[in-house]
Structure formats: structure tokens, C-alpha cells
């Protein structure tokens, strides 16, 4: 099972220049490690490809909107919602995939938990601060 993949050629083109880790297939990642992979990706994402209010994967998206590009098991629904596994809600998907509470998922990934001008680097910083707290 792969923990990390690029899901589409368009996403690969957009993410060109953004370092994507090559993780061994034999080592499943913990939720904390997945959050760090996401934070690293966001730190290197060009600002013009991030918008906290958009889910669209591969062009301009929020942090969860990039998950189908970064991680296996994520997909975009017809309404452009990023979903993991059998979940039907993006924040519940984040909760399960990253091993965080719904409140933490909401704070990291929603427009209600962030200003509309929140940057990818700010989300990455928030993720790292949360992980540093334990």
C-alpha cells in the first residue's frame, strides 16, 4: 500500500517544483507523520496555488484540497470535497486520516478556523505548533 502518491498529471504539473517525499511502501505513516508531510508540502507550495476557501485539487486549493494529490486513499467528490476512505465529510476525513479531533481539523482546514487570507505557510506553521505541543 502506498502512503504517498501524485494522483493526476494536472496536479503533478501544478506541484512541479514542490518537493514531494518518496516514502517506503512498507512503512505506514502515523497521523503525526502525515501531518508533517502535509506541512512540508504546504511550506513549499507556491502562494498562487493555495486558497483556504477552495477544495479544488491540483490547481488552487486549500490544505485538504491537496490531500488527493499527496496521499493515497483520498479522492475528490463531484462537489470537489476532498474525502478519505468511506467518509462523507472532509473534516471527518481529516480527523480519521491524521488522528486529530474534529475541532483541530476544523481549526486547521476550515475558513471558519482561519482568515480568508490565510497562507499555506501559516497552515503549515499551525500544524507544526500543534505537533510541538504534544
pLDDT tens-digit readout, 46-80: 888 888 777 665 556 788 888 988 888 998 888 77
Question: How long, in residues, is the chain?
Answer: 134
The answer as to whether 2 is a domain residue is no
The answer as to whether 1 is a domain residue is no
Alpha helices, DSSP H only, in 84-119? Answer: 90-98, 102-109
> What number of H helices and E strands is found in the chain?
6, 2
Residue pair 49/121 in contact (Cβ under 8 Å)? The answer is no
Q: How many domains does the chain have?
A: 1
Domain extent at residue 78: 9-133
The answer as to whether 3 is a domain residue is no
The answer as to whether 121 is a domain residue is yes
pLDDT higher at 85 or 11: 85
Range name among 88-92, 107-111, 128-132 with the lowest pLDDT average: 107-111
The answer as to whether 4 is a domain residue is no
- For residues 99-124, average pLDDT: 86
Task: Kindly tell me if the per-residue pLDDT of 88 is higher than 70.
Answer: yes
The answer as to whether 52 is a domain residue is yes
The answer as to whether 82 is a domain residue is yes
The answer as to whether 34 is a domain residue is yes
CA angle 38, 41, 43 (to 5 degrees): 110
Amino acid at each position: 500500500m502506498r502512503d504517498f502518491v501524485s494522483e493526476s498529471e494536472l496536479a503533478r504539473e501544478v506541484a512541479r517544483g514542490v518537493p514531494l517525499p518518496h516514502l517506503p511502501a512498507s512503512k505506514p505513516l502515523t497521523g503525526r507523520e502525515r501531518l508533517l508531510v502535509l506541512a512540508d508540502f504546504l511550506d513549499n507550495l507556491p502562494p498562487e496555488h493555495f486558497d483556504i476557501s477552495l477544495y479544488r485539487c491540483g490547481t488552487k486549493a486549500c490544505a485538504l484540497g491537496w490531500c488527493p494529490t499527496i496521499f493515497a486513499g483520498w479522492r475528490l467528490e463531484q462537489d470537489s470535497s476532498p474525502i478519505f476512505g468511506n467518509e462523507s465529510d472532509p473534516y471527518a476525513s481529516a480527523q480519521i486520516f491524521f488522528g486529530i479531533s474534529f475541532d483541530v481539523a476544523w481549526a486547521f482546514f476550515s475558513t471558519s478556523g482561519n482568515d480568508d487570507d490565510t497562507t499555506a505557510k501559516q497552515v503549515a506553521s499551525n500544524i507544526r505548533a500543534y505537533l510541538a505541543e504534544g
